[in-house]
Chains A and B, each alone.
Chain A
Amino acid sequence: MLIFKKLFHIFIAFFVLTSGIALKAEGSGSSYIDSGVYYSDIEIPINFENKQIKALESGIVFNLELNLKIVDIRNWRLDRDIGELTQIYAIEFNAFTRRYTVSNKNTGRQASMAMIKEVSEYLSRIKKLPLVDDSLLDLDANYTVILDSRLRAQGLSQWMKTISFWSESLDSDLEQIQWQLFK
């Protein structure tokens, strides 16, 4: 019985520790109005894993997909989706310049960085992302912005990803972040 108690304590300790790590890496988001448009500042902890860096250096392009959803949370009724926005950043490595290029697929803007750490920092802090026009919103409603982010290797079909299921996956899903649209 004693051994089971010890195992239980170890399990609890492990759970608390890992939860702590998860909390530590949590992202955040906030929204504000500027000239009739709601913008968001987002902080998402993006850390490229070694296998992803190796893949990038091997010429594989990664897409960071940010899916923002504005939902009207209603009591006793089903929630209502107000709108959805997908922001995609393509990250690629140029072997000739030895630099990473981050391209915003929505705006076409590009940034060039020498180190993967810079890329992580650049993508981890997204400022002034236009969300929704003020005129579309009801001031009495309780809007929540839900952000789902994921990093996807491009040029690899689902088949190719399935076939290498026993090896580490190149794709990663980032934690979901939620915040109130109105402060």
Chain B
Amino acid sequence: MATIQIKAKTTKRIIFSLIFLSVGSLLALMFAADNPNELNKMQSSLLVVNILSFVVFLIIVASSAKNLLNDYRKNKLGAKLRLRMSLAFGGLAVIPAVVLFFFAINFMNKGISVWSDADVEQGLNNALMLGRSALDEKIQQGLFETANIALQLQGIENIDLQLRDLVQKSKAEQLVILDSDIQVLASGSDQISRVSTRIPTLLEIEQANLKQSWASLDSSPDGSYLIRVLVPVLSFSSNQKPLYLQAFFSVDPKLSMMADSVEETYARYGRLSFMKDPIQYSYILTLAIVVLLALLLAIYGSIEFADRLVKPIESLEKEAESMIKNQRFADSNNASDEITTLVNSFMQAQKEAAWSDVARRMAHEINNPLTPIQLSAERIKKRFSSDTVFQSIDGARDSMTSKEEDLNFIVASTDTIVNQVEVLREMVNAFGKFAEQPKLKVERINMFKIIDEAIGLYLKDHKAVKFSSKYADNAFIDGDEKKLRQILNNLLKNSIDALNNIENPRITVATRDVQISNRSFLELSIEDNGIGFSEETLNKAFEPYVSTKPKGKGLGLAIVKNIVDEHQGHIAIKNNPKGASVIITIPINQTSNL
């Protein structure tokens, strides 16, 4: 039993952890959805978390479903109802989730399609072309100016000086002389500028040779733009290797910034368009996993919910069956929800009401003829016991012996009738009292004193029995003194009856302080080494009119249980290896709803 409870607790912990993880994944997905790049970084971990949750959930759900199906196949009580309810609740969750999933995918696909809209692409292309067109004129100016600078160069001597001078006079940011092996021979600046790393490629040299000039828009490492122009230096044609002049012209920073912004947007758009399909698949896959997780959770929840909902009904059904088989009611103290409590209370109330009704009717019906019977018997006795009557009937002294015998017989018989009627009346009164159940008169009472007094009553008449008592710290409880005395008397009497013909008979009365659900109780136990309860008595000991004693009314334990119930307590009986015990638990403080 303990193993099952631990298993259930572990399962619950796993489920809660998984729910927590899945909710975390959902939130991560929600925040990451705005930024596909963020999503890229997170999706691997999300996938692992979700797949793990999915597998564990699948195992748990499959196990629950298997148990449910097994119960259904074995026609177990309530299995059919549980299965139906699980299917209904599960269906209620599954259908909207599936519909929602397909709609979400549809909307998501449409949303992603907007990224690669043809109009957006065209617009961005136009923006790039517009930017380039704006710089075309600048490139032409650069070409013209570089060609002029090349013409102004006067021989290779003092070339660095010439270049520096020309940089100052022209709009060029830097001037560089290179040979056909792309070796820098001279530069118009000593400092390493942002353009210093830009050297022409062989293809660009070839282009410059072929067309006598080459110009291009280029980007610098800092993100700004520049114009690069390459022209052959014809005035140095006497050199072994052809030489080239490379000039750099800066682009207006504002224009450069705007061009950079357009390029960045275009690149981002290009990346998104290129990754459209994988992003789409990843969204669908993630959504599918999340939906499947939610579905599994819903199915598991529906099975559990149906189980809990059906349990009290199952219990009711069991109780009904139990009643049919004339068995004892199941102990209902582990009731954990309203329906269970309601069902148990209903059953108990029904049972008590039925017994009360029977008791009341019996008391009434039996009591009515008892008085005339008793009166008639007394009249007969009175009439036949007087000498006058006897004389008038017989009139002769010789038959005196015979008459006396008759008289004695009549007196004895009427006495027996009167006595037995009295016994019957007592019994009827006891039934009546059981049915009446007067309200408790609660006051603070010393249980130890009551126990000692109760034991004291029986000590004198039952000297062979060894009485002993063991007390806990607390002696005081809220209760009805008379009724609690009645409990002790009934139970001690039962124990004494059970000790008949037992060697070394003993009765132990003990109290103990216990805590149940943060409430303090006094546990009273009465233990004897008597014959114990029979199996049949154990099953229906608290039902009225059940007794194993030849002259028992069968109301002792039923009345005890009633009193304990009135005190919001609990009573249990059990057989020990030798003898039996009755254990009563009564709250130390009574609540006001008594």
Chain A residues with a Cβ under 8 A of chain B: 54-55, 57-60, 94-97, 99, 101, 103, 108-115, 118, 122, 155-161, 163-164, 167
Contact = CB atoms under 8 A, between A and B. Distances in A.
Contact of B274 (A58, A94, A101, A114): A58
Most buried by B among A115, A163, A167: A163
A97 B277 contact: no
Contacts of A101: 219
A42 to B, nearest CB: 19
Given A97-B225, A164-B278, 8 more contacts: A59-B267, A94-B263, A96-B219, A109-B197, A110-B198, A160-B279, A167-B277, A167-B278
B322 interface: no
B301 interface: no
Interface in B192-237: 197-199, 201, 203-204, 216-219, 221, 225
Interface of B: 37, 40-41, 43-44, 47, 128, 131-132, 197-199, 201, 203-204, 216-219, 221, 225, 259-260, 262-263, 266-271, 273-275, 277-279, 281-282, 285
Contacts of B267: 58-59, 95
B281 A164 contact: yes
A63 B201 CA distance: 21
A121 B41 CA distance: 33
Contacts of A57: 270
Contacts of B40: 155-157, 159-160
Contact of A96 (B221, B262, B275, B282): B262
A110 B282 contact: no
B283 to A, nearest CB: 10
B116 to A, nearest CB: 11
B274 A95 contact: no
A113 B216 CA distance: 10
29 contacts: A59-B266, A59-B268, A59-B270, A59-B271, A95-B128, A95-B267, A96-B131, A96-B217, A96-B225, A96-B266, A97-B216, A97-B219, A99-B216, A103-B221, A110-B221, A112-B198, A112-B218, A113-B203, A114-B204, A118-B203, A155-B37, A155-B271, A156-B275, A156-B278, A159-B43, A160-B40, A163-B282, A167-B277, A167-B278
A160 B32 CA distance: 14
The secondary structure that dominates the B interface is helix
The secondary structure that dominates the A interface is mixed
Nearest to A101: B219
A70 to B, nearest CB: 29
Contacts of A160: 40, 43, 275, 278-279, 282
Contact of B44 (A60, A96, A158): A158
Contacts of B270: 57-60, 95
Nearest to B266: A95
Most buried by B among A54, A96, A113: A96
A112 B203 CA distance: 12
Given A99-B218, A101-B219, A164 B271 contact: no
Contacts of B41: 157
A160 B272 CA distance: 12
Contacts of B218: 97, 99, 112
B173 to A, nearest CB: 16
Nearest to B273: A58
B39 to A, nearest CB: 9
B43 A157 contact: yes
B120 to A, nearest CB: 14
Contacts of B278: 156, 160-161, 163-164, 167
A29 B197 CA distance: 26
Contacts of B285: 163
B197 A94 contact: no
A163 B279 CA distance: 8
A55 B203 contact: no
A164 B277 contact: yes
A99 B198 CA distance: 13
Contacts of A159: 40, 43-44, 47, 282
A75 to B, nearest CB: 44
Given A157-B43, A167-B277, A112 B219 contact: yes
B197 A60 contact: no
B201 A122 contact: yes
Nearest to B274: A58
B281 to A, nearest CB: 5
Q: What 9 A-B pairs are tightest by C-beta distance, nearest first?
A: A59-B267, A58-B270, A58-B274, A59-B270, A157-B40, A96-B263, A159-B44, A159-B43, A164-B278
A22 B570 CA distance: 90
Contacts of A118: 201, 203
B263 A163 contact: no
Nearest to B220: A110
A161 B274 CA distance: 12
Contacts of A58: 267, 270-271, 273-274
Contacts of A97: 216-219, 225
A114 B216 contact: yes
Contact of B201 (A59, A103, A111, A156): A111
A170 to B, nearest CB: 9
Contacts of B259: 96
B47 A96 contact: no
Most buried by B among A58, A113, A167: A58
A106 to B, nearest CB: 14
Given A96-B219, A159-B40, A59 B274 contact: yes
